[in-house]
Copies of this chain bind each other. A is one copy, B any other.
Amino acid sequence: MKIGVIGYSTTEFGELWDRSPRDLSREVFLNSLKGARLEAAKIEALYVGNMLAGILGNQANLASFYAEELGIAVPSVRVEAACASGSVALHNAVQSVKAGLYKTVMVLGIEKMTDHTQDEVIAGLMAAGSDEERASGITFAGLYALIAQTYMKKYGISEEDLAEIPVKNHFHGSLNPKAQFRNLITVEQVMKSARISDPLKLLDCSPISDGASAVIISSDSKLLAKSKGVTIVASQLGTDSVGLCGREDLTTLKSAVSASKKAYAEASIKAHEVAVAEVHDCFSIAEAIALEDLSFSKKGMGVLDVKNGKVTLGSSGVIINPSGGLKACGHPVGATGIKQVIEIAMQLEGVAGKRQVKNATIGLTHNVGGSGAVAGVHILRI
């Protein structure tokens, strides 16, 4: 069965203090319908990816909440998988279409984080950690710092090397009008930025963001015929232990390795055929590990491949995070997995403007929850 991405829309990501979740959801709902030249009545079901509304805002039952807000009284499902909530929601939406239950489904990823204090948000995000991690007082920056320390020692990587990752992502973000940060940064600036958790500095960390993203997927042959032709050819999930203490090796995520292997098999492609990918760079080190887990880089070469410009716009290799990634585009956690899919759809359709990857026909998204407990991988083609 062919499942197309027939419409999409994302809000600008950032500190959107003057906008409510309802408002953000309406923007992407209306714009994605408009882009697809579709009436709202064609949407047969709604899948919602969100992590924090219950914890921070005491709002559960979000699927019905947004179905009501958007004026579509259709079957609705809320999926929560920490920072992978968006891709896991899409995954379930894809299965519902493949199962033949629905033809046309909307998937909404949404998160409103900046209305809360930093302490509240950090505590909320730690809901994705393990008991042991929370009890220790560690934060996600601390967890990824442990991963970074292990990786850098193992492969002889310097902090300056690692800093090349956010520098590249800010360059990409500078070309994305929806990105939270559009300023160029240098390795020197990363090195001088506040030390958050050794060796990670402020500019190694993705921000706290607000945003909403929506895609409309369909198996309806008439709607596919009038779409631009992007299809989802693989949708897979992987799982690892919640806490780092349960892992044999901190320099890889089993969740991402298993999900991507299954996704490549489902799409009948090899990693080297992917022209563009959006990966989960919640911290600089996460992008390096993603490159290796997805088989884009050899083991230990993730950071160096970025440093050597192999994945930067203009390179002939796979282009990584043309949107600016979580670091520069922003990371409203429930929306991220959907924004990634939208970025890839735009790249494949050739409508990505200044950040357009040339001749891209296959793209991939990699969305991680917690410190790797869950990963969702999607592959798109045109």
**Interface residues of A, Cβ cutoff 8 Å to B:** 45, 51-52, 54-55, 58-65, 67-68, 73-82, 88, 91-92, 94-96, 98-101, 123-124, 126-128, 130, 134, 236-242, 246, 254, 258-259, 369-370, 373-374
Report B-chain residues with C-beta under 8 Å of the C-beta of A242: 61, 64-65, 68
Report B-chain residues with C-beta under 8 Å of the C-beta of A236: 75
Known A79-B79, A92-B95: A128·B374 in contact at CB below 8 Å = no
Check B370–A76 contact: CB distance below 8 A: no
Known A61-B127, A98-B100, A242-B65: A81·B75 in contact at CB below 8 Å = no
Check B239–A58 contact: CB distance below 8 A: no
Within the complex, the shortest CB–CB distance from A157 to chain B, in Å, comes to 28
Report B-chain residues with C-beta under 8 Å of the C-beta of A59: 127
- A54 CA / B45 CA spacing, docked (Å): 25
Kindly report how many copies of this chain are found in the complex they form together: 2
Check A240–B64 contact: CB distance below 8 A: yes
Check B54–A80 contact: CB distance below 8 A: yes
Check A77–B81 contact: CB distance below 8 A: yes
Check B374–A239 contact: CB distance below 8 A: no
Best-buried of A58, A82, A99 by chain B (most CB within 10 Å) = A99
Report B-chain residues with C-beta under 8 Å of the C-beta of A92: 77, 79, 92, 95-96
Further 17 A-B residue pairs, CB within 8 A, beyond A58-B124, A79-B79: A54-B54, A55-B58, A55-B60, A58-B134, A60-B82, A60-B128, A64-B370, A68-B242, A68-B246, A68-B373, A73-B240, A73-B254, A76-B374, A78-B79, A95-B101, A98-B98, A98-B99
Within the complex, the shortest CB–CB distance from A305 to chain B, in Å, comes to 28
What is the chain B residue whose CB lies nearest that of A128? B61
- A65 CA / B5 CA spacing, docked (Å): 31
Known A74-B239, A75-B236, A76-B237: A61·B95 in contact at CB below 8 Å = no
- A62 CA / B374 CA spacing, docked (Å): 10
What is the chain B residue whose CB lies nearest that of A75? B237
- A134 CA / B59 CA spacing, docked (Å): 10
- A370 CA / B237 CA spacing, docked (Å): 29
